[in-house]
A and B are shown apart, each in its own frame.
Chain A
Amino acid sequence: MLPPKSSGLFDRLAEYFADHPRILLTLQLAPAIVFVAGVVFVPLASVFAWSFWTMEGRRLVPSFSTDAYARFLGSTGDTFRLEVFATSLRIAVTQTAVSLVLGFAIAYFVGIRMRGSKYVLPLLLLFAVPFLTSYLMRTLSWHAVLQRFGLINTLLLGLGVIREPMTWLLFSEFAVHVGLLSTYLPFMIFPVWLAMSRIDSTVLLASADLGGRPKDTLFRIVIPLTLPGILIGCIFVFVGVLGDSVVPALLGGPGGSSTLLANLMDRAVGGDDLPLAGAMASITLLMAIGLILAWEFFFGLKKIGEI
């Protein structure tokens, strides 16, 4: 049975494309690829170039100056930026570690223990809520929990656990960690859960049948097969924290937790010190690219499509 002949515009175009599949393929892929390359990759690549340029007034002028990098490293005797960088790295690594442990456990519960349950999707959806609601206001809401007479202090005072409200809860590195974790934990849970959900149930059953305790199944089967998801989650959290300027600005306090790397970059852009912003961005990008290349090396990027 032949489909009825039609002379609609789409059909006539389609007849043409049926004979020229390569042209169709190009037309389908090119717009997205050209767009992403133009607005994401070209600007990011240019960062590496103009981080070596100099400013003349408010304009970037081509040259080869390592001045921005030197200032970042503290050439003027001011190691402020380097200290911020160290603090940012420490916070990013801590966040990655904490969210890995917690996120893995949660993903394990949802992906292995709750396997096949009708509650899996709703549960995951609950963890996706922060991702899809206003990031600024969500962060500001932590004030109500952590402040002097906020939720935690009121609760603990009421229970008689403490006598004086704790003042270090808000505007501190603690608050920054609390805020960051509530934002980035879902970024760990999802890729790890996705990788776990790909593990065939029969493999888990086989392990149990052969006498493997849950611990053995976890370490010998679940973790090795989940590694791609784990690394993706780690990249998300680590790079995300390094690029976060909102949480430190709203929740951070004395001791350096209110200014992290992203805040420094933001200030440099605002102050028209573009090479300095570029130098810091280049260093951050290099770390991100290093992690992505590691993923590519171990697992192959094509796998992302399968996830």
Chain B
Amino acid sequence: MSAAETARTVHRHPLEVFFEKHGMKVWKGFVGFFILYVLLPPLLLVAISFEPSGVVRMPTGFSLKWYDVMINDQALQGALLKSIILAFLTTFVATFLALQAAIGFRKTKHKTLVIAVMILPIFLPGIIQGFSLSIVLNQFLGVERNFWTELAGHVMWALPFAFLVVLTSMSSVHREWVLAALDLGANPWRAFKDIEYPIIKPGITSAAIFSFVLSFNEFNRTFYLYGLGETLPIYVWNRIFVATSPQTFAISALTVILSLTLIGLATWYLTRVGRVAKETLQEGLAEQQDVPGAERTREPAVADG
């Protein structure tokens, strides 16, 4: 260390020196605190579900009593069943629409328009979307709220996210691969099925899982659109101000655990997108080298991890 540098060190602000030494610890503490902050409510919810007294407070004991009540609660079973049916339908419809739209998006010239229509709903308040649709249906079209209006509400919530996930996974598909398939005489369906689909399959799966979880927990829109019978979040809302239904914590705890498992799965799948693309590329390269006289004009771009 030269004399000049030593001199500079001496004159530096003590805070600067402190951060140089302990910066990483401060960072970890800071981020750790906010992870805890954000995770505390869902984790507490699981803890509270075991509280014997049924009061919303820090658990004082361990009891499975409310799980027992939950299992025997007819209304809750109905709500659970309805939520599951809706979530499955939403998964199917939203993922299908998102996939078609994403494929279309890659080809269309009107990219701004398509992306605007697909993504903007995320930026507008859900409760306004919910009651404006319900009022249009009710006042102008004479449609009473029913199962299908509810499904529409769930699909409109899940669709933008499903679209984004599928679109992201499609960025691993190089346009040339599809063009090559088409050049070799494959029709668009074969090109999709044999080239694109295997690569984006993890993306489609995670879009489906996301749609399921988003639908399962949807509240803002459903509140204005639900017909006969409660969904799970509506069931919870209708009892949230009544102190005598602690079984809502039991079912919510189960929901949290289920949602987390599914999301873990979805993420694991998503990380596979890059890997599958890479493997496909390597297989392709291996085959290319086997073909005699195959011209290699340029190195194929390596897919992003």
Residues of A contacting B232 with CB < 8 Å? 134
For B116, what are the chain A residues with a Cβ–Cβ distance below 8 Å?
A: 301
Decide if B128 touches A281 in the complex (CB within 8 Å): yes
Residues of B within 8 A of A28 (CB): 100-101, 103-104
- Bound-state CA distance A3–B24 (Å) is 57
In the complex, chain B residues whose CB is within 8 Å of the CB of A305:
105, 111, 115, 167
A185 at the interface (CB under 8 A from B): yes
Interface segment among A68-76, A138-146, A222-230: the answer is: A138-146
Residue of B57, B101, B124, B152 ringed by the most chain A CB atoms within 10 A: B124
Which residues of chain B have C-beta atoms less than 8 A from A123's C-beta?
31, 35
Q: Which of A13, A14, A59, A250 has the most CB of B within 10 A?
A: A14
Given known contacts A185-B38, A305-B167, A144 and B57 CB-to-CB distance under 8 angstroms: yes
Q: Which residues A73-127 have CB closer than 8 A to chain B?
A: 102, 105-106, 109-110, 113, 121, 123, 125-127
Q: Kindly state whether residue A161 has any CB partner on chain B within 8 Å.
A: no
Query: What are the residues of chain A within 8 A of B252 when measuring CB–CB?
Result: 134, 136-137
Pair B255/A262 contact, Cβ less than 8 Å: no
Which residues of A sit under 8 angstroms from B139, Cβ to Cβ? 50, 59-60, 274
Interface size on A, residues (CB 8 A): 96
Is residue A202 within 8 Å, beta carbon to beta carbon, of the partner chain? no
The answer for the CA separation of A262 and B132 in the assembled complex, in Å, is: 13
- Residues on B with C-beta less than 8 A from A150 are 57-58
Assembly CA distance A239 to B129 (angstroms): 13
Which A residues are in CB contact (< 8 Å) with B81? none
6 A-B residue pairings within 8 Å (CB atoms):
A28-B104, A47-B132, A113-B24, A144-B58, A236-B123, A243-B125
CB distance from A44 to the nearest CB of B (A): 5
Q: Provide the bound-state CA to CA distance between A32 and B94, in Å.
A: 9
Indicate the size class of the contact surface on chain B.
35 or more
B188 touches A17 (CB 8 A): yes
Q: CA A14 – CA B267 in complex, angstroms?
A: 33
Given contacts A28-B101, A32-B100, A147-B57, contact A110 B31 (CB under 8 A): yes
Q: How far is the CB of A50 from chain B (nearest CB, A)?
A: 7
> B18 at interface (Cβ–Cβ under 8 A)?
no
* B237 / chain A contacts, CB cutoff of 8 Å: 136
With A29-B100, A134-B256 known to touch, is A36 a contact of B117 (CB < 8 Å)? yes
Alpha-carbon distance A3/B195, docked complex (angstroms): 13
CB neighbors of A among B95-150 (8 A): 97-98, 100-101, 103-105, 107-108, 111-112, 114-129, 131-133, 135-136, 139-140
Residues of A within 8 A of B (CB): 1-3, 10-11, 13-15, 17-18, 21, 24-25, 27-29, 31-33, 35-37, 39-44, 46-47, 50, 59-60, 102, 105-106, 109-110, 113, 121, 123, 125-130, 132-145, 147, 149-151, 154, 181-182, 185-186, 235-236, 239-240, 242-243, 245-246, 250, 262, 265-266, 269, 274, 277, 281, 284-285, 288, 291-292, 300-302, 304-305
Q: A262 — which chain B residues lie within 8 A by C-beta?
A: 125, 127
Q: Which residues of B contact A132 (CB under 8 A)?
A: 213-214, 217, 259-260, 263
Alpha-carbon distance between A207 and B132 when the two chains are bound, in angstroms: 50
Output the residue of A1, A141, A239 with the most chain B CB within 10 A: A141
5 nearest A-B pairs in the assembled complex, by CB-CB distance: A243-B125, A14-B189, A28-B104, A29-B104, A137-B252
Q: Which residues does chain A contribute within 8 Å of B188, judged by CB atoms?
A: 14, 17-18, 21, 24
Check A35/B155 contact, CB under 8 A, given A25-B108, A137-B249, A141-B44: yes
B-side contacts of A142, CB under 8 Å: 41
Name B263's contact: one of A17, A110, A128, A246 (CB within 8 Å).
A128
Q: Find out whether the CB atom of B236 lies under 8 angstroms from the CB atom of A137.
A: yes
State which of A24, A134, A154 has its C-beta within 8 Å of the C-beta of B255.
A134
Of A27, A144, A246, which one neighbours B56 at CB under 8 angstroms?
Answer: A144
Instruction: Report the minimum CB–CB distance from B123 to chain A (whole Å).
Output: 6
Residue with the greatest number of chain A CB neighbours at <10 A, chosen from B31, B163, B236? B31
Q: For A46, what are the chain B residues with a Cβ–Cβ distance below 8 Å?
A: 132, 135-136, 140
In whole Å, how far is A258's beta carbon from the nearest beta carbon of chain B?
A: 12
Total A-B contacts with CB atoms under 8 angstroms apart: 272
Q: A2-B184, A144-B57 given as contacts; is B126 within 8 A of A243 (CB)?
A: yes
B39 in contact with A126 (CB, 8 Å)? yes
Q: Which of A137, A145, A300 has the most CB atoms of chain B within a 10 A radius of its CB?
A: A137
Q: Among A14, A128, A245, A266, which residue has its beta carbon within 8 angstroms of that of B190?
A: A14
A10–B189 alpha-carbon span in the complex (Å)? 7
Contact present for A265 and B123 (CB under 8 Å):
no
| Closest chain A residue to B48, Cβ basis | A144
| CB of B284 within 8 Å of the partner chain | no
List of B residues within 8 angstroms of A269 by Cβ: 131, 135, 224
Question: Complex: how many Å from CA A59 to CA B138?
Answer: 10
Shortest CB distance A52–B (Å): 14
Hey, which chain A residues are within 8 Å of B44, CB to CB?
A: 141, 144-145, 151
B156 at the interface (CB under 8 A from A): yes
**Residues of B with C-beta under 8 A to A41:** 117
Cβ of B128 and Cβ of A143 under 8 Å apart?
no
Contacts A3-B185, A40-B129 given; indicate if A130 touches B120 (C-beta within 8 A).
Answer: no
Chain A residue nearest in CB terms to B132: A43
Closest-CB distance, A105 to chain B (whole angstroms): 7
* Minimum distance in angstroms from A19 CB to a CB of chain B: 10
Interchain CB contact under 8 A, B248 and A121:
no
| B45–A29 CB distance below 8 A | no
Q: A139-B41, A235-B123 are in contact. Are A25 and B187 (CB under 8 A)?
A: no
